[in-house]
Amino acid sequence: MSGPCEADALILFGITGDLARKKLFSALYELTVAGRLDMPVIGVASRAWNDDTLRSQAFAALEESGRDIDGELFSRLASNLTYVSGNYQDPDTYKRIAERVSNRACTVSYLAIPPGLFDDVVEGLAAVGINSSGRLVLEKPFGRDLRSAAELNEIVERHFPEERVYRIDHFLGKEAVQNLMIFRFSNTVLEPIWNRHYVRGVQITMAEDFGVEGRGSFYDEVGTVRDVVQNHLLQVLALLAMEPPVSESPDALRDERVKALRAVVTPSRDDVLRGQYVGYRDETGVAPDSDTETYAAMRLELDSWRWAGVPWIIRAGKGLASTVTEAVVEFARPPRPLFADADCRPGANRMTFRTKPDDGISLSMQSKRPGPAMVSHSVELHLEGDRPRGRDAYYRLLADALRGDPSLFARQDGVMEAWRIVDRTLSGCRPVVPYERGTWGPAQADSLLGSDWTWITK
């Protein structure tokens, strides 16, 4: 059986949107720099742009990003860029797209548009035969809840088989997130202690010190759980909890991520705390009686041999004390304190995987405190990440989609498991609890930790 075809055309729906301006044009430029985008790139949207408008907007977006632009390389990118203006419900739009790719054997269609439009575009592509051999890339969110995700999948699978559907979650394309998987499975010293016998608990935090930044109308329809918990943070949990894959093949990797999510016990009402920062309801576009969460914390458990009894605490929020994204694995304390100060018990060993504000992995260990006393103190062993300059997650994921590598893309069964985990939170949870901006969220979230644990990131 032959492998995936190499793409020879790229169709970008939603080319006039924020995602294209902030991320996709940069990724296209970097792919051109790397010699990996020698193909037509057809931008599609409803705005009355033309080819020249698209090219000038692409250049402006690159200038906004602050990168150095090589004129010859940009000219090469611009020569590949063309534009189709049209309504996503108009069959003529897809006929004009088909004309642009009529002699292409493997087209990648990227839907950087709201999920409510996915069905129109998928049906339109199928009507002109673009679905026959090409791939479909879907930007998150994949539905709004468990039911809508199932309905969306039913629409997609009518015209595209699962192996040609790529659900993009840019978090999986980050260097630090990929390094998490490498670090786990390429260092044999970790495997004997990566289980319930030695791990006391795991905390995963995605905190932002800013609010909704003028996006109140959008955020009020989404909330923290849909925005980052259901996708980004549960993907990190899966990478930390998964078993070693049987090979490096894309499906072997995704099989284990899905198994980890399948092991997560659906949280009860008491395992979830939602919060909302004071002043959120005054934001433009936010309902005056909004119950949308800007903070969410969950206590999760995995019903598996490796992780039974180990608490996994996930929290995310806006308007918090700091901007930081990290996962901290805390190991069990020694059976009795040795070389301890009378007033200070030695801290637990911790391994921290951080993606913001910088990439890196650190290990907290105990070492002798300098001086005459035989007492220990915590020291940090830190491995700084080496992020490729100018290239972010979208460069890697677009490159993978073009060459047909689905390893870092979400699969439908994994998406459904993630929605299953949070679905009860979305439909039957308690009202939001207010918290002040600049804090670490509602104090009530402390109850999720139990009596003998504290927040690690604070």
Beta carbons of 44 and 86 less than 8 angstroms apart:
yes
Which of 139, 160, 192 terminates a domain? The answer is 139
42: containing domain:
9-139
pLDDT (mean) for 178-200: 91
68-77, 139-148, 343-352, range with greatest mean pLDDT: 68-77
Query: Do both 203 and 342 map to the same domain?
Result: yes
Query: Domain count of the chain?
Result: 2
129-143, 203-217, 338-352, range with greatest mean pLDDT: 203-217
* CATH at 383: 3.30.360.10
pLDDT at 389: 57
Dihedrals phi, psi of 440, to nearest 5 degrees: -100, 25
pLDDT band at 342 (very low <50, low <70, confident <90, very high): low
* Residue 66 belongs to some domain of the structure: yes
Query: Do both 230 and 286 map to the same domain?
Result: yes
> How high does pLDDT run on average in the chain?
91
The CA distance from 445 to 299, in Å, is 10
Q: Which of 335, 303, 390, 418 is nearest to 25 (CA)?
A: 390
pLDDT above 60 (res 1): no
User: Would you give the distance in Å from CA 150 to the centre of its chain?
Assistant: 20
pLDDT (mean) for 163-170: 91
* Residue 4 belongs to some domain of the structure: no
Dihedrals phi, psi of 355, to nearest 5 degrees: -115, -20
* Residue 367 belongs to some domain of the structure: yes
User: Active-site residues: which are they?
Assistant: 232
The CA distance from 266 to 261, in Å, is 10
pLDDT at 156: 93
* Residue 394 belongs to some domain of the structure: no
pLDDT above 60 (res 2): no
pLDDT (mean) for 204-211: 97
Query: Do both 313 and 440 map to the same domain?
Result: yes
Query: Do both 308 and 439 map to the same domain?
Result: yes
pLDDT at 452: 82
Query: Do both 66 and 132 map to the same domain?
Result: yes
pLDDT at 393: 87
| Both tokens assigned to 107 | 């087209």
Dihedrals phi, psi of 196, to nearest 5 degrees: -65, -20
pLDDT at 177: 83
pLDDT above 60 (res 193): yes
pLDDT above 90 (res 347): no
For the chain, percent of residues with pLDDT exceeding 90: 71
Query: Do both 418 and 305 map to the same domain?
Result: yes
* Residue 76 belongs to some domain of the structure: yes
Within 10 angstroms of residue 437's Cβ, the number of other Cβ atoms is 16
pLDDT (mean) for 403-411: 92
Query: Do both 135 and 176 map to the same domain?
Result: no
Query: Do both 48 and 194 map to the same domain?
Result: no
CA distances from 4 to 31, 165, 169, 410 (A): 19, 12, 20, 17
Query: Do both 264 and 342 map to the same domain?
Result: yes
The CA distance from 192 to 185, in Å, is 12
pLDDT above 80 (res 372): no
| Both tokens assigned to 30 | 């970097």
SS3 track for the chain: CCCCCCCCEEEEECCCCHHHHHHHHHHHHHHHHCCCCCCCEEEEECCCCCHHHHHHHHHHHHHHCCCCCCHHHHHHHHHHEEEEECCCCCHHHHHHHHHHCCCCCCEEEEECCCHHHHHHHHHHHHHCCHHHCCEEEEECCCCCCHHHHHHHHHHHHCCCCHHHEEEECHHHHCHHHHHHHHHHHCCCCCHHHCCCCCEEEEEEEEECCCCCCCCHHHHCCCHHHHHHHHHHHHHHHHHHHCCCCCCCCHHHHHHHHHHHHHCECCCCHHHEEEEEECCHHHCCCCCCCCCCCCEEEEEECECCCCCCCCCEEEEEECCECCCEEEEEEEECCCCCCCCCECCECCCCCEEEEEEECCCEEEEEEEEECCCCCCCEEEEEEEEECCCCCCCCHHHHHHHHHHHCCCCCCECHHHHHHHHHHHHHHHHHCCCCEEECCCECCCHHHHHHHCCCCCCCCC
Q: Which of 317, 365, 368 is nearest to 339 (CA)?
A: 368
For the chain, percent of residues with pLDDT exceeding 70: 94
pLDDT at 387: 55
End-to-end CA distance of the chain: give it in Å, rounded.
52
Which of 116, 139, 162 terminates a domain? The answer is 139
CA 358, 211, 219, 14 dihedral sign is negative
pLDDT (mean) for 158-163: 93
Query: Do both 377 and 440 map to the same domain?
Result: yes
Q: Which of 65, 336, 319, 47 is nearest to 28 (CA)?
A: 65
The CA distance from 401 to 166, in Å, is 7
* Residue 159 belongs to some domain of the structure: no
Q: Which of 295, 297, 309, 229 is nearest to 265 (CA)?
A: 309
Which of 96, 124, 139 terminates a domain? The answer is 139
Query: Do both 368 and 244 map to the same domain?
Result: yes
pLDDT digits (tens, 9 = 90+) for 3-31: 688 999 999 999 999 999 999 999 999 99
* Residue 397 belongs to some domain of the structure: no
User: Would you give the distance in Å from CA 20 to the centre of its chain?
Assistant: 17
pLDDT at 340: 61
* CATH at 66: 3.40.50.720
* Residue 458 belongs to some domain of the structure: no
Query: Do both 122 and 219 map to the same domain?
Result: no
pLDDT at 380: 81
pLDDT at 425: 87
